[in-house]
Amino acid sequence: MTDILDRPNIAPDGTTIGDQSAESVHPETWVRAPQDAWGHPAELPNPLRTGGSERVPAPCAMVIFGVSGDLTARKLMPSLFDLYTSLPLPDGFCIVGVSHRDWSEQDFKDKMREAVVTHARKDVTAESWEGFARCLSYVRGSFDDPGTYARLGQQLTTLDGERRTLGNRLFYLATAPQYFSPILQGLAHADVLERQANYLEPTEGWHRVVVEKPFGHDLTSARELIAEMAEILTERQIYRIDHYLGKETVQNVLAFRFANILFDPVWNRQYVDNVQITAAESLGIEGRAGYYEGAGALRDMVESHLLQLLTVVAMEPPAFFNGNAVRDEKVKVLRTVVPPTGSGVGIHAVRGQYAPGFVGGQPVPGYHEEKGVAPDSTTETYVALRLGIDNWRWSGVPFYLRTGKRLPRRVTEVAVEFKRVPHLMFQNMGELDLTPNVISLRIQPDEGIAIRFAAKVPGARTQLRTVRMDFQYGAVFGEAGPDAYERLLLDAMLGDPTLFTRRDEVESAWGIVQPILNAWAEPGAAPPALYESGTWGPHAADVMIERDGRTWRRP
Ligand code: BG6
């Protein structure tokens, strides 16, 4: 039988999926730009200043499993509160927390208030909290107890009556991946969650499930998880989150590339020398040894966030901004990525681990000194990779990826470094202080785009220098955009899967990192190289890139 993903826009009945479903082109794509009386483009309002989106989802109940965990406190509840106070949430929207904690409903609300006060963007006033708290309810129970799901079912039926949520349900699994299947089975057995058609979602009574990363531990476990979830749900019901895709600046890479004619003609192997993708963090593991010891930087950051950044930079232009059109192109590029394998891993992949040092002038412990870390742990906190992309556009252009904890500062950027001009006519005419053109897309902080190019120094002599042209989000739009989770939660409520990871994307991403995981797990494999906290990573990463005659940028 043909897999629906092999013919992604065609439903089994032969109709085009994108036409009648939530995967259709976003309505805002069709809005004609405002014009003044003479037909000239009118000045556009700044949507960040004029207060928000008109994308209001249908009423629904959102059920959070793992509501007592860190993710709920730091990200989910604050983002839901921020959404609620910016008003795109429908009347009747409600949140049901599920956890084994022996909390009363009031305890639950108090904990959530604490989280919101600490982490939300918006101020919490007595009035806004009171309104938001009315949306909250709590179901206590363990994930392996059928009674939990029965109680949850009753609560959802009550909410359908009281708040008119129309049977629409969004389940958020903010738990470790080993609980995904037991929770889904519990929900399915209790008839709280039902399997729905892959190509046409009901307009009322839709059931969707959002799952957090990590999605599996390696390629095999990711495939098992995909298969287990597919027994209970269709692909269209599953929303796999990678919060980097919710970041405004990551989406802006798509706008920069595909809404401007200027850049695409040079966005290829004819003009690009190399691409460097950096996600540096100054923080350590922040008390997450329980998770991080079994993960490491390759699984935690590269398999997910860095490969997502690579796809938006390297993919071909999709025909539409919708779920399958965008994800088809992302999968296509992931499938052409050539990772190092076997002995190539030692040359094109570097792993490191932070030793004690100073970050921001403060002494910080090494990874081995962190609570919960095994004294002989070989978990990597830094990775640098050289990947190739075997396709017409990128053949021969190296993509250098690096990420690490306890580096000098927090910065995420994509830098596209161009080739030198074929002939420089200014060679004999004075001082030249030129570096090749670079377009750097700054994801965080100081979100923006910078272009580095050559300019003449004013004066009678012909002297050239490299200068930067800067676009900064803050300066143009005046306010920070919504948090990544706000965007993604809203999209899941709206049934828009464009910014979520499809199952073939997950498999392709694991396929890229798996040979490296294998090589590092070999008996006798060299352990991670130590780097002093507060430095830019192990020397071996410099050696790796210098072997190609290049150097890392200092972002
Ligand atoms: C998470 C990782 O997915 O992303 C963390 O598990 C990492 O280890 C974090 O710190 C980085 O996200 P951001 O948005 O701070 O760049």
What is the tens place of the pLDDT at every residue in 389-402? Answer: 999 999 999 999 99
Looking at residue 372, its pLDDT comes to 96
β 337-338/382-389 pair status: antiparallel
The interaxial angle of helices 219-232 and 503-521, nearest 10 deg, is 150
Residue 326 C-alpha to ligand 1 middle, in angstroms? 24
* Atom nearest to 213 CA in ligand 1: 3
Looking at residue 45, its pLDDT comes to 45
> What integer best gives the mean pLDDT of the chain?
88
- Residue of 383, 347, 355 lying closest to 535 (CA atoms): 355
Residue 244 C-alpha to ligand 1 middle, in angstroms? 9
Looking at residue 474, its pLDDT comes to 82
Ligand 1 cavity residues, CB under 6 Å: 281, 300, 412
Q: Over range 163-178, report the average pLDDT.
A: 93
Residue 413 C-alpha to ligand 1 middle, in angstroms? 14
Residue nearest to atom 9 of ligand 1 (CA): 301
Residue nearest to atom 8 of ligand 1 (CA): 300
Residue in 250, 293, 301 to alter for ligand 1 test, most ligand atoms within 8 A of Cβ = 301
Looking at residue 92, its pLDDT comes to 87
Looking at residue 54, its pLDDT comes to 63
Looking at residue 380, its pLDDT comes to 98
Tens digit of each residue's pLDDT (9 = 90 or more) over 446-465: 889 999 999 988 888 778 88
Q: 3-class DSSP state for residue 394?
A: coil
Report H helices in 336-430.
Answer: 344-348
Residue 543 C-alpha to ligand 1 middle, in angstroms? 27
Looking at residue 52, its pLDDT comes to 46
Residue in 75, 300, 308, 406 to alter for ligand 1 test, most ligand atoms within 8 A of Cβ = 300
Annotation says 305 is catalytic: yes
User: Which CATH code of 3.30.360.10, 3.90.950.20, 3.40.50.1220, 3.40.920.10 fits the domain covering 246-546?
Assistant: 3.30.360.10
Choice among 305, 368, 423, 539 that is catalytic: 305
- Residue of 498, 481, 418 lying closest to 444 (CA atoms): 481
* Atom nearest to 484 CA in ligand 1: 14
* Atom nearest to 288 CA in ligand 1: 8
Domains 58-212 and 246-546 in one fold:
no
The CB density around residue 84, as the number of other CB atoms within 10 Å, is 19
CATH number of 58-212: 3.40.50.720
Residue nearest to atom 14 of ligand 1 (CA): 244
Q: Over range 30-42, report the average pLDDT.
A: 42
Residue 525 C-alpha to ligand 1 middle, in angstroms? 27
Residue nearest to atom 4 of ligand 1 (CA): 301
Among 51-55, 99-103, 443-447, 498-502, the range scoring the smallest mean pLDDT is: 51-55
Task: State the Cα–Cα distance between residues 81 and 425, nearest whole angstrom.
Answer: 59
Residue 243 C-alpha to ligand 1 middle, in angstroms? 9
Q: 3-class DSSP state for residue 282?
A: coil
Task: State the Cα–Cα distance between residues 491 and 175, nearest whole angstrom.
Answer: 20
DSSP 227: H
* Atom nearest to 292 CA in ligand 1: 8
Long-range CB contacts (< 8 A, 24+ apart) of 356-362? 356/532, 356/533, 357/406, 357/532, 357/533, 357/534, 357/535, 358/533, 358/534, 359/282, 359/406, 359/408, 359/533, 359/534, 360/282, 360/409, 360/534
- Looking up tokens 């540096």 gives 280
* Atom nearest to 444 CA in ligand 1: 16
- pTM, two decimals, is 0.88
Looking at residue 430, its pLDDT comes to 63
Tens digit of each residue's pLDDT (9 = 90 or more) over 60-81: 999 999 999 999 999 999 999 9
Residue 404 C-alpha to ligand 1 middle, in angstroms? 11
Residue nearest to atom 6 of ligand 1 (CA): 300
* Atom nearest to 279 CA in ligand 1: 16
pLDDT band at 1 (very low <50, low <70, confident <90, very high): very low
Q: 3-class DSSP state for residue 151?
A: helix
Residue in 243, 411, 442 to alter for ligand 1 test, most ligand atoms within 8 A of Cβ = 243
Among 4-13, 246-255, 307-316, 490-499, the range scoring the smallest mean pLDDT is: 4-13
Residue ranges covered by each domain of the chain: 58-212, 246-546
Q: Over range 151-167, report the average pLDDT.
A: 94
